[in-house]
Amino acid sequence: MTAHEKLSAAIRAANEAGRTALVPFITAGYPEPKDFIAILKDVASVGDVVELGIPFSDPMADGMTIQRSSFIALQKGVSLKWIFEQLDSVKGEIDAPLVMMSYLNPLLAFGYEALAERALAAGVCGFIVPDLPFEESEDLRDALDARGIGLIQLVTPATPDERLKTLCDASRGFVYAVTITGITGGEEGLPGNLAAYLDKVSSFSEIPVCAGFGIREAADVTAVGKHANGAIVGSALVEVLENGGDARQFLTGLRHTA
Amino acid sequence: MSSLFAADEAGRLLDAAIKGEMPDERGRFGPFGGRYVPETLVPAFERLEAGVRQHLHDAEFQATFQRELREWVGRPTALTFAAQLSKAWGAEVWIKREDLAHTGAHKINNAIGQALLAKRLGAKRVIAETGAGQHGVASAAACARVGLPCSVYMGAVDMERQAPNVDRMQRLGAEVVAVESGDKTLRAAIDEALRAWVTDPDGIYYLLGSAVGAHPYPYLVRELQTVIGKEARQQMLDQAGGLPDVAFACVGGGSNAIGLFHPLLGDDIELIGVEAGGTGDGLGQNAATLATGTPGVLQGSYTIILQDDDGQVQETHSISAGLDYSGVGPEHALLQAVGRVQYISARDDEALEALEELCATEGILTALETSHAYAAAREYAKRNPGKRILIGNSGRGDKDMPTLTQYPARTRRHDSA
């Protein structure tokens, strides 16, 4: 099984067990770099796939919560190199497959070939790159493809049908369906026409669809779970960590149907 | 950077730039440029690109734009012979007076052009970012002129050092949104404007103020600013009797510089862009992007940026808010890489000295941004006596009074008279 197939399989396994796959997002090294592995193990014990945010100086698609966590992690010296070293130290100990969410420039600075090689060694199965549209993605996609690592495409309610088809076909591991027209961490909740949108994305995609942005509580997970394979929880989880809360307890709570 | 291409490849790219074949259909200036934006904005960028293609060179749009430039902006702006400065420098110095354009800087050329475009494209409201405040003021004025609501995103640090412009924007009917995230200057303001745009990509028109960002902005802004270079070129022929030996412009994002330089690319004129050298050469002490940066992606474009080894974008320092930016327009990155334009820097103190000298010799209070171009031109004149020098005077310095009052004037002509 290639790395990206592990992602799809983990999500489908959750569905087959009668659950909506849960994909928790954490900013790597936040709030304290020394707690990174402990937090990762915690969230991986509940999550089906774990999304690791790579801190960046200009997180233009993120709201205040993730911006804050990103700046603090950077201030405390977190870098992509450091994250890979940390992952090496626990290889084989974390069951949930990992994806990295990174803006493009840190990946560009690392070098695509070196990145793909390093990611494979560290057990990273996929990448989400919010400022890399499909049209500009060929070089990174080629480097990742050669190692079976997935480049996960985002789709949004603003995506026209023809483009939606292209993006769903290109995506590997899962399709990341952004639920709202906006940035992460919004307070508005999920939009009313969510079901039709997610059903459409699911009908276009041959791989699992995970919905993200604005998912904050168990009722949200239940709502998207009816129309998508998985739910991605980012800002709400980062807020729990920010407030010194228990990530495992919060995520377990999301599993309980409201 | 000149080693980036083989010599014949550099020549081919420069030829294409001179002929106006840049950017290509993917928004590339050679390797630079492109469109690195969140998926939510991709359809909005595609609509904008189609709108630019349809309207920008359309006769009716151009007629309206040219009329607004003439009757509302006050173009053509003057070309001034700087008699005393010429004498002091041992050179022949000519100044292209964008400070005389409505609202006091070249920014208005782009703002009114894009505001007219926003109206044509059916936008419900306009957002803009601003550093020095000049683009914010220009956008506020242009939006009032065409009848569109306008919100301007401005870093909290810049709001403090450019307070008079905040008041001007508000009086012109714009909402000024303080940006407290990131470095609280221009870069953070652009990030925040992009976040706002993502919330309503259909209704909002983003009026970007410099020749930076994702395609088609570097192209669109250049096309709206080349009026500077076209006018200056003709005025030099008419008033000076010939083209200059060298032309100087300050470079932050680089809109006034590309506006002045682009129409001169095919001429035998040395072109020199001047960045902010800040207080020194160390990372974070300046905004000399092209002089010290490396290729990377920032805010939608593959260009030269100030970053560390991990690809984290670095904060900058400059006395002038308008030059205080970690990136630069992708066309400048190309023009540097092919060796057509030389990019150097001037420090804060050199800019201040140049500002005072221009006040004393020519009675022109120029912007702190523009002062960097004078500082570099003065050094050039020392080494190359007798040259005919053209300086792009991108804006006026009234907005800089809060900063300038911290530095007591050293030049007092009436004392020595």
The packing angle between helices A247-255 and A218-225, to 10°, is 50
For residue B172, give the nearest of B255, B115, B228 by alpha carbon. B115
Average pLDDT, chain B: 94
Confidence of residue B2 (pLDDT cuts 50, 70, 90): very low
CB B175 within 8 A of CB B150: yes
Minimal C-alpha gap between A98 and chain B (Å):
21
Q: Which domains, from first to last, does chain B contain?
A: 29-69+107-222 (3.40.50.1100), 75-104+225-416 (3.40.50.1100)
CB B214 within 8 A of CB B180: no
Query: Where does residue A18 fall: left (phi above 0), alpha (psi -120 to 50 degrees), or beta otherwise?
Result: left
Rounded to the nearest 5 degrees, what angle is found at the Cα of A126, between the Cα atoms of A79 and A6? 135
CB B264 within 8 A of CB B229: yes
Q: What is the pLDDT of residue B183?
A: 82
Query: For chain B, what's the residue count?
Result: 417
Q: What is the pLDDT of residue A182?
A: 82
| A257 in any annotated domain | no
Catalogue the E-assigned strands of B52-208.
79-81, 92-97, 125-130, 150-155, 175-179, 204-206
- Active-site residue, selected from the candidate residues B139, B210, B320, B394: B394
Q: 3-state secondary structure string, B241-267? A: CCCCCEEEEECCCCHHHHHHHHHHCCC
Say if strands A98-101 and B32-33 run parallel, antiparallel, or are unpaired. Answer: unpaired
Distance of CA A76 to the CA centre of its chain: 22
A–B: how many Cβ contacts below 8 A?
106
- Eight-class DSSP state of A29: T
Residue with tokens 């092919």: B338
For residue A107, give the nearest of A66, A65, A56 by alpha carbon. A56
Least confident of A11-25, A179-193, B77-91, B245-259: A179-193
Q: How many domains does chain A have?
A: 1
| A111 in any annotated domain | yes
Least confident of A177-191, B136-150, B179-193, B295-309: A177-191
Contact A156 B300 (CB under 8 A): no
Least confident of A137-141, B53-57, B248-252, B278-282: B278-282
CB atoms within 10 A of CB B229: 26
Give me the mean pLDDT over the A46-73 stretch. 95
| A256 in any annotated domain | no
Cα B395 to Cα B259: distance, rounded to the nearest angstrom: 13
Confidence of residue A103 (pLDDT cuts 50, 70, 90): very high
Minimal C-alpha gap between A189 and chain B (Å):
14
Query: Which has more confidence, B210 or B181?
Result: B210
**Residue B204 is which amino acid?**
I
- Eight-class DSSP state of A55: P
pLDDT one-digit tens code per residue, B219-242: 999 999 999 999 999 999 999 999
Would you state the structure tokens that stand for residue A209, as one six-digit string?
């669809």
Residue with tokens 């690809």: B311
pLDDT at B309 over 50: yes
Active site (annotated) includes residue A139? no
Q: Does A202 touch chain B (CB under 8 A)?
A: no
Contact A158 B37 (CB under 8 A): no
Q: What is the pLDDT of residue B411?
A: 54
Would you state the structure tokens that stand for residue A111, as one six-digit string?
């070098």
Q: What is the pLDDT of residue B3?
A: 61
Instruction: Work out the widest C-alpha separation in chain B, in whole angstroms.
Output: 64
Would you state the structure tokens that stand for residue B229, as one six-digit string?
């270079």
- Active-site residue, selected from the candidate residues A42, A48, A51, A220: A51
Would you state the structure tokens that stand for residue A8, as one six-digit string?
């799809």
Residue with tokens 């510089």: B257
Percentage, residues of chain A above pLDDT 70: 98
Contacts of the segment B115-118: beta carbons below 8 A, 24+ positions apart: B115/B139, B115/B142, B115/B143, B115/B145, B115/B146, B115/B148, B115/B207, B116/B61, B116/B64, B116/B65, B116/B68, B116/B146, B117/B51, B117/B52, B117/B55, B117/B56, B117/B61, B117/B205, B117/B220, B118/B146, B118/B148, B118/B205, B118/B207
pLDDT one-digit tens code per residue, B325-366: 999 999 999 999 999 999 999 999 999 999 999 999 999 999
Contact B195 A80 (CB under 8 A): no
| A94 in any annotated domain | yes
Measure CB to CB from residue B182 to each of A58, A61, A135 and give the nearest one.
Answer: A58
Active site (annotated) includes residue B315? no
Confidence of residue B416 (pLDDT cuts 50, 70, 90): very low
Confidence of residue B184 (pLDDT cuts 50, 70, 90): confident
Report the sign of the C-alpha dihedral through residues B91, B96, B97, B99, in that order: negative
Percentage, residues of chain B above pLDDT 70: 97
Q: What is the pLDDT of residue B167?
A: 93
Query: Which has more confidence, B415 or B159?
Result: B159
Confidence of residue A193 (pLDDT cuts 50, 70, 90): confident
- What 3-state DSSP class applies to A50? strand
| A207 in any annotated domain | yes
Contact A106 B310 (CB under 8 A): yes
Cα A219 to Cα A225: distance, rounded to the nearest angstrom: 10
Cα A234 to Cα B244: distance, rounded to the nearest angstrom: 57
pLDDT at B417 over 50: no
Rounded to the nearest 5 degrees, what angle is found at the Cα of B160, between the Cα atoms of B170 and A69? 105
Confidence of residue A258 (pLDDT cuts 50, 70, 90): very low
- Of A179-188, B57-66, B197-206, highest mean pLDDT: B57-66
Contact A136 B313 (CB under 8 A): no
Confidence of residue A73 (pLDDT cuts 50, 70, 90): very high
For residue B290, give the nearest of B342, B238, B350, B249 by alpha carbon. B342
Confidence of residue A257 (pLDDT cuts 50, 70, 90): low
Confidence of residue B160 (pLDDT cuts 50, 70, 90): confident
Measure CB to CB from residue B312 to each of A56, A63, A135 and give the nearest one.
Answer: A56
- What 3-state DSSP class applies to B49? helix
Would you state the structure tokens that stand for residue B344, as one six-digit string?
């150097």
| A177 in any annotated domain | yes
Backbone angles phi, psi at B246, to 5 degrees: -150, 145
Domain that holds residue A121: 3-251
Contact A105 B198 (CB under 8 A): no
Residue with tokens 């932050």: B252
Q: What is the pLDDT of residue A192?
A: 81
Confidence of residue A183 (pLDDT cuts 50, 70, 90): confident
pLDDT at B413 over 70: no
| CATH number of the CATH domain containing A206 | 3.20.20.70
Side-chain half-sphere of A223: how many Cα atoms within 13 Å? Answer: 18
Q: What is the pLDDT of residue A32?
A: 97
pLDDT at B410 over 80: no
| A258 in any annotated domain | no
Residue with tokens 């394979």: A229
pLDDT at A20 over 80: yes
Structural Rg of chain B based on CA atoms: 20
